Amino acid sequence: MKIGIEKSLNNVKEELEQNNLQAVVMNNSKQDNSRDLKKYDAIVASGQDSNFLGMQDTKTKTPVINATGKTAEEICSEVKNRLE
């Protein structure tokens, strides 16, 4: 599984990798938005930027997980549950 994560979530990246999930820091360029969304099985965003990657008005089947107020372990668990 390939999980896209926001740059500021290094602790989440480490937790996902410890659980055998491929975590990739996403390019936050809005012009790459559509292409980027399709190559991930899930996306984790910090919630600090309400329009991260210009996704505010983007429709996608890719699960987007808001990391606000959650530990890295909780986020990893949510990613696994959404991908089952």
Do 66 and 45 form a contact (C-beta atoms < 8 A)? Answer: yes
pLDDT digits (tens, 9 = 90+) for 33-67: 566 677 899 999 887 654 555 444 455 678 889 99
Residue 48 confidence (pLDDT): 65
Q: Which of 57, 58, 26 is nearest to 41 (CA)?
A: 26
2-83: CATH number: 3.40.50.2300
- Higher per-residue confidence, 78 vs 26: 78
Query: From the CB of residue 26, how many other CB atoms can be counted at a distance below 10 Å?
Result: 23
Q: Could you give the CA distance from residue 42 to residue 50 in angstroms, rounded to a whole number? A: 17
Instruction: Give the 3-state secondary structure of residue 46.
Output: coil
